[in-house]
Structures are given as structure tokens and as C-alpha cells.
Structure 1
Amino acid sequence: MAATGSRELPGLDLARLTPWFIENVGPIDGALDAELIAGGKSNLTYRLTDGENRWILRRPPVGKLLATAHDMGREYTMMSALAPTEVPVPRMYAICDDTDLLGARFYVMEAVDGTPYRKAAELAELGSSRTRAISERLVDTLAALHRVDPAEVGLGDFGRPEGFLARQVARWRKQFDAAHTRDLPDMQRLHGLLAERVPADAAPGIVHGDYRLDNVLVDDADQARAVLDWELSTIGDSLTDLALMCVYHRLGAAGGGVTDVSLAPGFLTEDEVLARYSAESGRDLSDFGFYLAFGCFKLAGIVEGIHYRYVNGQTVGEGFADAGQAVGPLLNAGLDALKES
């Protein structure tokens, strides 16, 4: 398809994009074509091609956005900084700050070959040995990320690690308020308990913000090729990443959430995940219950934002109608997690 905008592509006008693309990314061998990659309920991700080459374009969803969410500059800066480290990230080509071009900031990056495993059935086809290896690499990659010194890769001023957890608890309460469509008493209760129990500051580390297996591209050799979706990344207490990943696994095991990979035969148990991460990172996990509870609170806030956009007709694609039903169980799980050591 020529870059004429003749196909309905929400948030992407190929005719307007093409001149910028040629100037900032490089020459193309033919007219740009694009497809919206299904599955995302957050930023819009497009696969671009000129018939010979492929790229990925990322931009925020259309419509009103919650404050601080969908930050294209954050994703671009983080992945650019991690390029020389052992953390696998795609190559970054260019970012566009001109919001008049497509209606929002966007960036273009390398299209990396790999599979973002989301379902246990997908892993089951590989067998238990390969599944175990993939889950081990998932933990090892997270530990490798958390070993990176932010200052050494130019991210010393990327976030404010002092008081990180207290600010995060307050921030996600504000996100709930900004996405208000209904009363959530358990949210208020969980927020109050988290605010009372914030641990002392840990050594600053890079926080991905939404780390799970389907945000990692895995190649045919079962190696992690690229960690994606850095829109919530920052500098702070990196145990929040580990906890959120465990929350995803618990939800999947209970028959909910967006991924159930932890149910696949061979996948590391939660105890094995924690032991492997602790050995690789040296982190103390004695107050992990707080981090699990905060992970539930944060994930509930993300889902409530999705529910808000759905209620206000601002979503693109399928699968949004029932998203809001997960918020209550997440808040309850957070309250239960506070009882864990």
C-alpha cells in the first residue's frame, strides 16, 4: 500500500510520516506500509515495512492520557542507554517530538525477531526443559538489568530514587483519582496500609515498570533477544519489578490476568524465581510482602486506566470491555499480600 493514508490506521498517517521517516531514519526501498500489532492495551505499536526492511513505530494511544503515562521519550532514552549493556534491547533509530505530525510523540526502533510468550499452552509445545530454560533467562535478564549502575549508562538524573516507594504509592493513588469512574473502597484501604508501611530506600537501580515474559522477545535458541515496553521505566527500588512479575504469575495461576505462563510444565515456581533472583542480585527479600502488595496496587491502577479509556471511548482494538473487572480482585490480592513476609 502506498503511503496515502487510504487505510484506516488509528494514530498513524503514512503520508505525513514518510517524509519525516526518510529524513530521520533513512531511505526506503518502496512506499511505507504498516499494520497495528494486536494485543497491546497501552501504547500503539505498528510494524512498518517498505517491502524489504522492517521497523517498529511506537506512539501513545489516541484520546486523553493520564498524567505521566505513555512517555515516548522515557522509553526511547532508557533503551538507548541500555544498548551497550548486557540487557537486550532493540536498536533505537529516531524519536519525533513534533506532536503535530501524528498527534503525539513517537519513535522508531529496530524490528527484532522473537516470540513474546503469553500463554502456558505456547510454552507447553516447547516441552518442560525449554520452558524451564526460558523462565531462567527471564529471571537472569531481570537481575542483569538491576545490576546496571544508572549513572554509568547516563541515567543518573533519569529519576529520583530518594523516597521512591513513598512517591510511587502516592503516584498510583493519583492515577486512580485521575481515572475515576466508580468508587473503590478497597483501593483507599490498600493505599492507606501501603503508605504506612513504606520500607527504607534501597540502592538506586533501573526499574522496568512492567516486566513479564510477554514483554520479552525470545528467540529459537530460548535466549532473550529484546526487552520491550519501557513506558513506566525509572530509577528507584528494583524489587518492584520482581514483585510485579510474581503478581502476574499469581494472577495467571488463579485463572486471571493477561498471562498464565507460570502454569506451563517446567516453568520456575515462585520460590525458585525468588531464590534465583536473590542469588543473582544479592537483594534482601525479607519484606517482599510489601512489594507484592504494591505490585497489586500498581497493576490495579494500570487496569483502571484502561477501564477509564474504554468507558470514555478512547481505546483501539478488542478486549477492553471486561478489563475493569480485574481491579477488585487485584486490590483484594494486595491486601492479602501485606500479610506475607
Structure 2
Amino acid sequence: MTTTDNPPGLDLERLRTYVDRERPGLVSGPLTGRLIEGGRSNLTYAVTDGSSRWVVRRPPLGHVLATAHDMGREFTVLAGLYPTPVPVPRPLLLCRDETVIGAPFYVMEHVDGVPYRTAGQLAGIGPERTREVVLGLVDTLVDLHAVDPAAAGLADFGRPEGFLERQLRRWDKQLAASRNRELPGIDALRDRLGARLPISGPPTVVHGDYRLDNVLVGPDDRIRAVLDWEMSTLGDPLTDLGLLVMYSERLPVADSPVATTAGAPGHPEPAELVARYAERSGRDASTVGWYTAFAYFKLAVILEGIHYRFTLGQTVGAGFDRIGTLVPAFIDRGLNILNTKD
């Protein structure tokens, strides 16, 4: 049978041939697929044979930052977490052979649920349900950080020693790979973060991009799946909390193409989220300001990489033309947080 409707970056006929060889009987009809909009990094596709549904993930087209789009890491962490209380899609197939569709990719089961990407979407479910969803996001993060990496087969998933120092070096290196314009303040932000490194607690599995936009919520307002594990590793769990705090603030620009649910009626304030995490996890979260400033630095670098791909004509989807305008605002917000702490 032939396949139809190839979305950008995914040859469905070649995908079908590969899946039939590796997992005979999984697919029972011609494949159709579509790009799932909303992502700004790895590409995600919904694929179906008319009766069953799957999700395919692959790196972005064109310019790819080293270590930032490793399909094998995503597949490994999904396989490790699937048996735990952390809700993740079931991973089915990993392909490292770039000749199949032009890049490594993996296939996972489709999970029904809603990704709440904006305050307007949350407003539609009302303040009480919004509060329950967002607090559930914190509780799921606590569950993630409670997973024993060794028991989940993830003991070698990262090097926790010196994690924060390496994170700063990594994101500075990623910035250098995409930097083609002046970015006032970003070097100062990096240097001030490096001069104030907190002492990390016991390491855990960290998601690396934990926010409401990266989970699927069921009709019962419970989180059905945590998605987008491309930056996961073993490290300091408060990096996840700092990022969640950042996304719980009103982003420092109007009409931002970056998703945020902050400001929706019923959405808990960042301080409440930090307090709930600290109480339920038993961790000291008093240094969360540093981690929040680091989150702004990290996202500024990610956005600059996306902006760079946009200037090269290597992005797929809408909204990329405004990404570059966000970067200076994120740099300023990170510096302001550190100034407040000083």
C-alpha cells in the first residue's frame, strides 16, 4: 500500500517500510500524517493508519546544535520512566539510521489529552480547574524527581557532578554556535550566574523543559503524559523548578509567540508553586531565584538558536519571525532577578 500526505521532514512511505520491517503487524493500513504545530525545536508528527495512532519525533530541519536533538536520549528516558508513576507515552521504536527519513527518529504511542499552551485556553476551563491542572503539574514534577535513576535503568543517563557548571558551559557553547548578532547583557548574565552557583542537592532525573505546554491533560484534569524529553538528564532538580517558575511568570513581552499560561484566572502564583514543591518533595527551594534567572538565560539561548534557523530559512510552521525579538527581553529579566537577589 502507498502512503500519502507527506508532511515536511517525514517521508511516510519510507517510514511505513521501516516500521513493517522492524515491527511487523504494527501498521495495518496506508499511513497519513501531519506536523503537530506548537513546537519550536524537534519536529513532532501525528501519524495514523486509520485505526491506530502514533507520534513520530525527529530533529529540526537544517542547522542542528550538537547534543540538543538526540533522539536516542529521548527514547531511553521514556523507556526508563514508562513503568514508574511518571506519566509518559509508551516508546515503540527507535531508528538511528538517517537514510530512512533523513534524520534519526523514534515512534511512540499516541496519548489523548490537551496541551494547554495559553492563558486563553485555561480561561476556557475556569479558575478552579485551572488551579487543579497547574498544581498537578507541580505534583507530577515531584513524582519525577522521586524516581530512583538506578531502578529505572537511568543510572548512566548523565553526570550529576559539576552539573550546574557544565550547564552554563553547554548553553554558552550553544549560544556561540548560533550567535550572529549583538546581544547586550547576555555575557554579563552568564558571568553573574557563574559567580553565584548554588550547591546542588542529591541528583535526580530532570526534564530540562518542564512546563504546562509540554504535558497532555485529560478530561479529568489529570496529567496523562509528560512530553518533549530532548533535554533530560541526571542533575539538579531545582533547574526544573526554576524553569516552571519562569513559565509561571508573565513573560516580559507582549504578544509573545512563546507559550505561557501565566495570568489565567485561577493560575497559582509562582511562590505558591515553589512552596508546594518544597513541601511535597522535602527539598530546600530557597535558592530558586538563581535557577529562575538561569532558566531565562537558557531560554534566551534556545530562542536565539531558533531565530538563527529562521534567518537561514530552516524552520517549519508559524510564529518564527517574532522569536528574535524575545531574546533581549529574556536577558533583561534574568539580570533583573539577580539584581533583586543581590
TM-score, shorter chain, exceeding 0.5:
yes
Aligned residue number for residue 181 of structure 1: 180
Instruction: Work out the number of aligned pairs and report it.
Output: 339
224-233 or 175-184, which deviates more: 175-184
Q: Give TM-score scaled by structure 2 length.
A: 0.96
Q: Which runs of 5+ in 1 are unaligned?
A: none
Within the alignment, does 1:271 sit opposite 2:271 as a pair?
yes
Aligned residue number for residue 35 of structure 2: 36
Aligned residue number for residue 64 of structure 1: 63
Q: Secondary structure at the match of 2:320?
A: coil
Between the aligned partners of 2:195 and 2:306, the Cα distance in structure 1 is 28
Aligned residue number for residue 16 of structure 1: 14
Matches within 5 A, 1:155-170: 155-170=154-169
Matches within 5 A, 1:45-56: 45-56=44-55
Q: Which runs of 5+ in 2 are unaligned?
A: none
Within the alignment, does 1:334 sit opposite 2:310 as a pair?
no
Contact 1:252 1:261 in 2 (8 A): no
Contact 1:143 1:281 in 2 (8 A): yes
Q: CA deviation at 1:2?
A: 3.5
Q: CA deviation at 1:201?
A: 3.0
Between the aligned partners of 2:230 and 2:273, the Cα distance in structure 1 is 24
Within the alignment, does 1:293 sit opposite 2:281 as a pair?
no
Contact 1:253 1:263 in 2 (8 A): no
Between the aligned partners of 1:170 and 1:253, the Cα distance in structure 2 is 25
Between the aligned partners of 1:40 and 1:125, the Cα distance in structure 2 is 22
Between the aligned partners of 1:116 and 1:289, the Cα distance in structure 2 is 27
Q: Secondary structure at the match of 2:108?
A: strand
Between the aligned partners of 2:330 and 2:165, the Cα distance in structure 1 is 20
Q: CA deviation at 1:253?
A: 7.7
Between the aligned partners of 1:178 and 1:17, the Cα distance in structure 2 is 31
Cα separation, partners in 2 of 1:240 and 1:309, compared to 1, 3 Å? same
Q: Secondary structure at the match of 2:262?
A: helix
87-96 or 189-198, which deviates more: 189-198
Contact 2:46 2:53 in 1 (8 A): yes
Contact 1:128 1:265 in 2 (8 A): yes
Between the aligned partners of 2:84 and 2:273, the Cα distance in structure 1 is 23
Q: CA deviation at 1:171?
A: 0.8
194-203 or 249-258, which deviates more: 249-258
Aligned residue number for residue 308 of structure 2: 308
* Counterpart amino acid of residue 336 in structure 1: N
Matches within 5 A, 1:138-157: 138-157=137-156
Aligned residue number for residue 219 of structure 2: 220
Q: CA deviation at 1:206?
A: 1.0
Between the aligned partners of 1:132 and 1:250, the Cα distance in structure 2 is 15
Between the aligned partners of 1:90 and 1:26, the Cα distance in structure 2 is 21
Contact 2:296 2:330 in 1 (8 A): yes
* Counterpart amino acid of residue 187 in structure 2: Q
- Deviation digits for residues 231-264 of structure 1 (CA, Å, limit 9, x no counterpart): 0101000101111111122244864462331211
Contact 2:247 2:261 in 1 (8 A): no
Contact 1:292 1:338 in 2 (8 A): no
Q: CA deviation at 1:340?
A: 4.1
Contact 1:93 1:109 in 2 (8 A): yes
Between the aligned partners of 2:191 and 2:336, the Cα distance in structure 1 is 14
Q: Give TM-score scaled by structure 1 length.
A: 0.96
279-288 or 162-171, which deviates more: 279-288
Contact 2:93 2:107 in 1 (8 A): yes
Cα separation, partners in 2 of 1:85 and 1:156, compared to 1, 3 Å? same
Between the aligned partners of 2:257 and 2:289, the Cα distance in structure 1 is 20
Contact 2:35 2:46 in 1 (8 A): yes
Between the aligned partners of 1:63 and 1:257, the Cα distance in structure 2 is 21
Contact 1:288 1:340 in 2 (8 A): no
Contact 1:150 1:206 in 2 (8 A): yes
Note the aligned Cα RMSD (angstroms). 1.5
Q: Secondary structure at the match of 1:327?
A: helix
